Structure 1
Amino acid sequence: MYTAEISRTNPTAFLFVIDQSGSMDEIMETEQTKARFVADVLNKTLYQLIIRCTRAEGVRDYFDVGVIAYGDSIRSGFAGALAGKILHPLSDVEANPLRIEERVKRVSDGAGGLVDQPTKFPVWFDPTSSGGTPMTAAMRTAAEAIAEWCDSHQNSYPPTIIHVTDGASTDGDPSEIVTALKQMSTNDGECLLFNLHISTAGGQPSVFPSSESGLDEHGRLLFRLSSGFPEHLVQAAREKEYDSVSSESRFFGYKAGYEAIVDFFDIGTRASNLR
């Protein structure tokens, strides 16, 4: 399982489910709100997926990509031309950013110092934070999109869903719908659901644990709802010095800080077997 070749004929899918509830306005150690930091990481991830799939003739549609945002409503996280449905071929995403911002990044000056360099930063997803945390309804929306996708891509590597939240569900226990979502499959295996809880509070973070030990009630729920660690991603995690990761681990992070958030997106969107 999880060995299907990813090609333009048989793409895979990445669906990001992002909590935009009111508490996402809390300030992180980066001095950004949680909503802003997650939006930046997501936009950077989308751009990196596009770069990974760009060839001389343009962007190859190895991936279908979507974003679901939830807070005061449940909606596509894309706006403009992409707002009408959840999942889109990557070339459509590349062609329809909301805007291109100019930002500054620090780069080496070749003499041991750092200099500011302007860089173009495409934005598809804007931060916002209001309302509750209707996780169950958001996961139901995700399940509808993934069921339709799997029905029409039975020979593909199964979809990966990356869910980012900072709190407990405010519309009931999402376990039933998440279990159903994880059981959706292609001929190559069941969907992969990765849960990331972010926090500005104290407490020991737990990233890619192999047991519920040390987790509070909410952490134990998210642990149980997370997929096991796919074997082909174990090495990618170890390269980022998550040395304890094994096939017994869950693809789950709890009380994650900014470094773990970046790593989680990066490892979660690694896809082998690109043709």
Structure 2
Amino acid sequence: MYSAEINRKQPALLLILVDQSYSMSEPWGTSGQSKANTLALAVNRLLGNAVLQCSKGDNRVHDYFEVGVVGYGADITLALHGADPARPVLPIGEVARNPRRVDQVMRRMSDGAGGIMEVPMNAAVWIDPVTNGPTPMVEAFQTAEKVVSAWCHLHPTSFPPIVINLTDGVSTDGDPSAAAEAIRSVGTDDGQALLFNLHLSALAAGEVVFPSSAATLVDRHASHLFEMSSVLPAQMAEAASGLGYGITEGARGFLYNAQVTSVIDFLDIGTRAVTPTGLKELGGGDPTS
């Protein structure tokens, strides 16, 4: 299980759920930016890396992945440009061709002489930070389940869908447990869909990354999200271990009070569906596959 090869005939699905409630306007730790802005940057970085890794070093982007981003706050929205209810997820090649815009940003780079310099670079933007309304997590999960079910029907031999929920709040439309279970009960011939959760708490508690139990979680809402999270498949657990995280048996795809670097790692591990080196190895092989 969780071993199906990813290629253009058997793409993988990555569905990201982004909390866009009003509380996401609050600062994220000491970063100086809002939670919404920091998460948007992380998701844009993930999509940009996925595009690069699927490009095989040329201008062609091969459709190893299909991607969707669902925002939930005042409304449930499909955040990627070009997505609509008939096509809630898009091939990565189409995502690459259709960012909302391209911003110029300054990146710190080595100057080759032991120093650091800032260099202007273009950065594609697929999603913008939004902070408005409550936290309808049940509705967001129900939307995800419909997308996942339809996708699995069309891709029965593919690696199971990966759903990543990014939130700082408590569901305002009821208990999402049943909706989460509905997502995890859908699958392909290769296994059930994976649901991972990232919880940004307002409590002054330490970071908890890929725990195997809720014992260290002081927030009951975090414990609830932990219980709704899937256990990491072996190759993803190995990928997390390779990044320096202490992984124990039964570790789940769950983060609590995460630092920005951990969030970026978390999203990256979500794409490591076949091998511990993830998309880096998808760039080789037969160009027709």
User: In the alignment, is the contact (CA less than 8 A) between 1:234 and 1:245 conserved in 2?
Assistant: yes
Aligned residue among 164, 167, 182 for 1:165: 167
* Cα distance, 1:217 vs structure 2: 1.2
Q: Over residues 95-148 of structure 1, what are the superposed CA-to-partner deviations in whole Å (9 max), with x where a residue is unaligned?
A: 111111110000011222100011110001010101000000000000010000
Q: Give, as a single letter, the amino acid of the residue that structure 1 aligns with 2:23.
A: S
Q: Give, as a single letter, the amino acid of the residue that structure 1 aligns with 2:47.
A: L
After TM superposition, the structure 1 stretch with the greater mean CA deviation from structure 2, 114-123 or 210-219, is 210-219
What's the counterpart of residue 279 of structure 2? Answer: none
Q: Give, as a single letter, the amino acid of the residue that structure 2 aligns with 1:8.
A: R
What's the counterpart of residue 5 of structure 1? Answer: 5
Alpha-carbon distance in 2 for matches of 1:155, 1:235: 23
Alignment of 1:145-224 (within 5 A): 145-215=147-217, 216-224=219-227
| 3-state SS, counterpart of residue 133 of structure 1 | coil
Q: Give, as a single letter, the amino acid of the residue that structure 1 aligns with 2:156.
A: Q
What's the counterpart of residue 19 of structure 1? Answer: 19
Q: Give, as a single letter, the amino acid of the residue that structure 1 aligns with 2:2.
A: Y
* Cα distance, 1:82 vs structure 2: 3.0
After TM superposition, the structure 1 stretch with the greater mean CA deviation from structure 2, 249-258 or 66-75, is 249-258
Cα RMSD after superposing both structures: 1.3
**TM-score scaled to structure 2, two decimals?**
0.91
What's the counterpart of residue 229 of structure 1? Answer: 232
Alpha-carbon distance in 2 for matches of 1:94, 1:237: 27
How high is the sequence identity, in percent, across the aligned residues? Answer: 41
Alpha-carbon distance in 2 for matches of 1:152, 1:71: 29
What's the counterpart of residue 69 of structure 1? Answer: 71
| 3-state SS, counterpart of residue 214 of structure 2 | coil
Q: Are positions 1:120 and 2:122 aligned together? A: yes
Alpha-carbon distance in 1 for matches of 2:93, 2:107: 26
User: In the alignment, is the contact (CA less than 8 A) between 1:163 and 1:193 conserved in 2?
Assistant: yes
Q: Give, as a single letter, the amino acid of the residue that structure 2 aligns with 1:149.
A: W
User: In the alignment, is the contact (CA less than 8 A) between 1:162 and 1:195 conserved in 2?
Assistant: yes
Q: Give, as a single letter, the amino acid of the residue that structure 2 aligns with 1:229.
A: L
After TM superposition, the structure 1 stretch with the greater mean CA deviation from structure 2, 128-137 or 258-267, is 258-267
Q: Give, as a single letter, the amino acid of the residue that structure 1 aligns with 2:177.
A: S
Alpha-carbon distance in 2 for matches of 1:199, 1:32: 15
Alpha-carbon distance in 2 for matches of 1:214, 1:116: 40
| Higher strand residue share | 1
User: In the alignment, is the contact (CA less than 8 A) between 1:82 and 1:93 conserved in 2?
Assistant: no
User: In the alignment, is the contact (CA less than 8 A) between 1:101 and 1:123 conserved in 2?
Assistant: yes
* Cα distance, 1:67 vs structure 2: 0.3
* Cα distance, 1:206 vs structure 2: 1.0
* Cα distance, 1:214 vs structure 2: 2.5
* Unmatched tracts of structure 2, length 5 or more: 276-281
What's the counterpart of residue 278 of structure 2? Answer: none
User: In the alignment, is the contact (CA less than 8 A) between 2:159 and 2:273 conserved in 1?
Assistant: no
Q: Are positions 1:78 and 2:80 aligned together? A: yes
Alpha-carbon distance in 2 for matches of 1:238, 1:119: 32
Alpha-carbon distance in 2 for matches of 1:145, 1:64: 12
Alpha-carbon distance in 1 for matches of 2:33, 2:101: 20
What's the counterpart of residue 50 of structure 2? Answer: 49
Alpha-carbon distance in 2 for matches of 1:26, 1:96: 30
Alpha-carbon distance in 2 for matches of 1:184, 1:268: 18
| 3-state SS, counterpart of residue 167 of structure 1 | coil
* Cα distance, 1:260 vs structure 2: 1.6
What's the counterpart of residue 38 of structure 2? Answer: 37
User: In the alignment, is the contact (CA less than 8 A) between 1:12 and 1:64 conserved in 2?
Assistant: yes
User: In the alignment, is the contact (CA less than 8 A) between 2:196 and 2:254 conserved in 1?
Assistant: yes
Q: Give, as a single letter, the amino acid of the residue that structure 2 aligns with 1:218.
A: H
Alpha-carbon distance in 2 for matches of 1:148, 1:83: 14
Q: Give, as a single letter, the amino acid of the residue that structure 1 aligns with 2:46.
A: T
Q: Are positions 1:129 and 2:116 aligned together? A: no
Q: Alignment length, in residue pairs?
A: 273
* Unmatched tracts of structure 1, length 5 or more: none
| 3-state SS, counterpart of residue 241 of structure 1 | coil
* Cα distance, 1:57 vs structure 2: 6.0
